[in-house]
A and B are shown apart, each in its own frame.
Chain A
Amino acid sequence: MTSNKIISFIQLALLTSAVSCGIEPGGGSESAPVEEKKIEYTAIGNYRGYEIINQVIKDRMIHKGAEFELSDYLQKKPHGNDLESFIESTSGNLQVLLGRNTGNGLKSGYQNAQPNSINMLLWYLVVNGLADDVASNCEGETDRFNRDVTESMTKICAWPDPISKDDETLRGIWNLAMQYDAPEDEYLKWKEYILGADVAASKDRREAVLTLFVSAFYNPYFLLQH
Chain B
Amino acid sequence: MDSNISRRDLLKYAGSGALTCLAVPSFTPRIANAEEKDPHFILQVIFPGGMDTHYLFDARPLEMTKNKLIQNYIGEEPNIWTGSNGQSTLATKLTNPLKPYKDYFSIINGVVMDPTFDGHEQNMAFWYTGNPFGGEFFMPHLNKLGLPLDYADIGEGQVFVMMSNTSKGVPLTNKSMKGLTEKIKKLPRLGSESHLFNHVNRRMKAISQIGNGRFSGGAWAMQDALQNISSLSDRISHLKLTETRADEKTKSSIDLMSELFKAGITQSASMVFKTDFGGQVNLDVHSGEDAKAQVTSLPTLIGEVATIFKTLKDTPYDAKRSMLDMTTVLVTTEFGRTMRGGGNFDESGTDHNSLVNTVLVGGKGIKGGQVIGSSDYQSSNAKLSGAHKSFDAEAKCIMGNPFDFDKMISRTDLPSAYDPKDYLTASSIINTVYKMYGVSKEQYRIIERNGPAARTLDGLLI
B is a partner of A: yes
Residues of A within 8 A of B (CB): 20-23, 27, 30-47, 74-76, 91-94, 96-97, 103, 107, 109, 112, 114-122, 124-125, 128, 186, 189-190, 193, 198-199, 210-211, 214-215, 218-221, 223-226
> If A115-B225, A120-B226, A224-B215 touch, does A107 touch B4 (CB 8 Å cutoff)?
no
Of residues 117 through 158 on chain B, the ones whose CB sits less than 8 Å from some CB of chain A are 148-149
The CA-CA distance from A121 to B190 in the complex, in Å, is: 9
Interface pair B207/A117, CB less than 8 Å apart? no
Q: Of A34, A37, A92, which is within 8 A of B2 by CB?
A: A37
> If A117-B229, A225-B218 touch, does A219 touch B171 (CB 8 Å cutoff)?
no
Per-residue CB contact flags for chain B residues 196-239 toward chain A (1 = under 8 Å, else 0) read: 10111011111111011111111111101110110011001000
Q: Of B2, B149, B196, B206, which is within 8 A of A117 by CB?
A: B149
A58 to chain B, nearest CB (A): 22
Interface pair A116/B168, CB less than 8 Å apart? yes
The CA-CA distance from A199 to B197 in the complex, in Å, is: 12
Instruction: Name A23's closest neighbour in chain B (CB-CB).
Output: B23
The CA-CA distance from A30 to B205 in the complex, in Å, is: 12
B21 within 8 A of A: yes
B11 within 8 A of A: no
Interface pair B170/A219, CB less than 8 Å apart? no
Q: Which residues of B contact A121 (CB under 8 A)?
A: 184, 229, 232-233, 236
Interface pair B175/A91, CB less than 8 Å apart? yes
**Contacts beyond the supplied A92-B176, A117-B232, A225-B215: 14 A-B pairs with Cβ under 8 Å:** A22-B24, A30-B199, A35-B209, A39-B216, A42-B213, A45-B219, A47-B218, A92-B178, A92-B179, A109-B160, A112-B170, A118-B148, A121-B236, A215-B200
Q: Which residues of B contact A118 (CB under 8 A)?
A: 148-149, 170, 172, 232
Interface pair B187/A116, CB less than 8 Å apart? no
Interface pair A120/B229, CB less than 8 Å apart? yes
Interface pair B212/A41, CB less than 8 Å apart? yes
A205 to chain B, nearest CB (A): 16
Total contacts A to B, CB within 8 angstroms?
192
Interface pair A219/B21, CB less than 8 Å apart? no
Q: Of B6, B24, B167, which is within 8 A of A44 by CB?
A: B167
Q: Of A38, A44, A221, which is within 8 A of B217 by CB?
A: A44
The CA-CA distance from A115 to B220 in the complex, in Å, is: 9
Q: Of B22, B160, B202, which is within 8 A of A31 by CB?
A: B202
Q: Which residues of B contact A42 (CB under 8 A)?
A: 212-214, 217
Interface pair B213/A94, CB less than 8 Å apart? no
Of residues 21 through 43 on chain B, the ones whose CB sits less than 8 Å from some CB of chain A are 21-25
The CA-CA distance from A32 to B198 in the complex, in Å, is: 10
The majority secondary structure among interface residues of chain B is: helix
The CA-CA distance from A107 to B124 in the complex, in Å, is: 15
Q: Which residues of B contact A97 (CB under 8 A)?
A: 170-171
Interface pair A38/B5, CB less than 8 Å apart? yes
Interface pair A27/B200, CB less than 8 Å apart? no
Interface pair A115/B212, CB less than 8 Å apart? no
The CA-CA distance from A27 to B209 in the complex, in Å, is: 11
> If A44-B221, A117-B229 touch, does A199 touch B195 (CB 8 Å cutoff)?
yes
B14 within 8 A of A: no
> If A21-B21, A193-B199 touch, does A92 touch B175 (CB 8 Å cutoff)?
yes
Q: Of B179, B196, B220, which is within 8 A of A39 by CB?
A: B220
Q: Which residues of B contact A117 (CB under 8 A)?
A: 148-149, 168, 225, 228-229, 232
Interface pair A224/B222, CB less than 8 Å apart? yes
The 8 closest A-B pairs by CB, nearest first: A45-B218, A41-B217, A114-B167, A198-B195, A117-B148, A92-B176, A45-B214, A115-B221
Q: Of A22, A74, A112, which is within 8 A of B23 by CB?
A: A22
Q: Which residues of A contact B212 (CB under 8 A)?
A: 39-42
Interface pair B220/A41, CB less than 8 Å apart? yes
Interface pair B25/A38, CB less than 8 Å apart? no
Q: Which residues of A contact B176 (CB under 8 A)?
A: 75, 92-94
B100 to chain A, nearest CB (A): 33
Q: Which residues of B contact A193 (CB under 8 A)?
A: 195, 199
The CA-CA distance from A114 to B170 in the complex, in Å, is: 10
Interface pair B187/A125, CB less than 8 Å apart? yes
Interface pair A186/B9, CB less than 8 Å apart? no
Instruction: Name B204's closest neighbour in chain A (CB-CB).
Output: A220
Q: Which residues of B contact A33 (CB under 8 A)?
A: 23-25, 202, 205
Q: Which residues of B contact A223 (CB under 8 A)?
A: 222
The CA-CA distance from A75 to B173 in the complex, in Å, is: 13
Interface pair B202/A116, CB less than 8 Å apart? no
A134 to chain B, nearest CB (A): 15
Q: Of B25, B178, B220, which is within 8 A of A22 by CB?
A: B25
Interface pair B216/A37, CB less than 8 Å apart? no
Interface pair B23/A114, CB less than 8 Å apart? no
B201 to chain A, nearest CB (A): 9
Q: Which residues of A contact B198 (CB under 8 A)?
A: 31
- Can you name 15 A-B residue pairings with CB atoms under 8 Å? A38-B2, A41-B214, A41-B216, A44-B221, A45-B214, A75-B179, A75-B183, A92-B175, A112-B170, A124-B229, A198-B195, A219-B200, A219-B203, A220-B222, A225-B214
A124 to chain B, nearest CB (A): 6
Of residues 220 through 262 on chain B, the ones whose CB sits less than 8 Å from some CB of chain A are 220-222, 224-226, 228-229, 232-233, 236
The CA-CA distance from A103 to B180 in the complex, in Å, is: 24
Q: Which residues of B contact A76 (CB under 8 A)?
A: 179
The CA-CA distance from A189 to B198 in the complex, in Å, is: 13
Instruction: Name B229's closest neighbour in chain A (CB-CB).
Output: A121
A1 to chain B, nearest CB (A): 28
Interface pair A116/B215, CB less than 8 Å apart? no
A121 to chain B, nearest CB (A): 5
Interface pair A41/B213, CB less than 8 Å apart? yes
Q: Which residues of B contact A122 (CB under 8 A)?
A: 180
B166 within 8 A of A: yes
Q: Of B168, B172, B206, B225, which is within 8 A of A34 by CB?
A: B206
A100 to chain B, nearest CB (A): 11
Q: Which residues of A contact B5 (CB under 8 A)?
A: 38
B343 within 8 A of A: no
The CA-CA distance from A37 to B204 in the complex, in Å, is: 14
The CA-CA distance from A119 to B337 in the complex, in Å, is: 39
Instruction: Name A197's closest neighbour in chain B (CB-CB).
Output: B195
The CA-CA distance from A155 to B145 in the complex, in Å, is: 49
The CA-CA distance from A46 to B232 in the complex, in Å, is: 21
